[in-house]
Structure 1
Amino acid sequence: MLIGMIRSQLVYLFGLFLLMGSISGHAADIKNVRMWLAPDHARLVFDMTGPATHKVFTLSKPDRIVLDIDKTTLSANLDKLGLDKSPVKKLRSGKNGKTLRLVLDLKRSVRPKSFELKPNQKYGHRLVLDLYEKESLVKAKKTAKPKVVAGRDIVIAIDAGHGGEDPGAIGPGGVREKDVVFKIAKELKRKLDATPGYKGQLTRTGDYYISLRGRTKAARKQNADLFVSIHADAFKDKRARGASVWVLSSRGASSEMGRWLARKENSADLIGGVGSVSLEDKDDVLASVLLDMSMTASRGDSRSVAKQIHNNINRFAKMHKPHVEQAGFAVLKSPDIPSILVETGFISNPGEAAKLKTSAYQKKMANAVYQGITQHFQRKPPALTYIAQRKAANNKTHKVVRGDTLSVIATRNNVSLAALRKANNLKNDRIRIGQVLRIPTS
Structure 2
Amino acid sequence: MKLLFFISSVLFFQTVKAQQVFLRISTPSKTQNAVTSSKQFLTGLTCKGCTLTVNGTETKVWSTGAFAVELNLKPGDTSFLLQSANDKGAQESKRIFFNYQLPEKEKSLTTNTVAYWRIEPQADLMLVKPGDKLKMTVKALPGAVVQLENGTSFKEIYVKDSNGVKGIYQMEYVVKDKDDLFADKPSKLKLMVWAKGTDDPIEATSKSNFAMMPANGLLLETKGKIPYLLLGLGEDRLGGTKMGYVDSLVRLKAVSKVGNKYCLQLSKNRQAYIEDEHVNVLEHNYTPSSLTGNMRVWGDSSFDYVSLSLTERLAYQTFQEVNPSKIIVDVFGATSNTNWITQLGNTKEIGDIYYNQIDEDIFRISIDLKNKQHWGHRIYYNGNNLVIRIKRQPQILSLNNLVIAIDAGHGGSNKGAFGLTGVMEKDMTLAIAKELQAALEAEGAKVVTTRTRDTTYDNHDRYTVFQQANPHLLISIHLNSSADPVRIKGVSTYYKHIGYRPLTKTILQRMLDMGLGEYGNIGNFNFILNGFTEFPNVLVETLFISNPEDEANLLDPAYRKQMADAIVKGINDWLELCKKQ
Normalising to structure 2: TM-score of the pair?
0.31
What TM-score comes out, normalization by structure 1 length? 0.40
Higher strand share: 2
Larger helix percent: 1
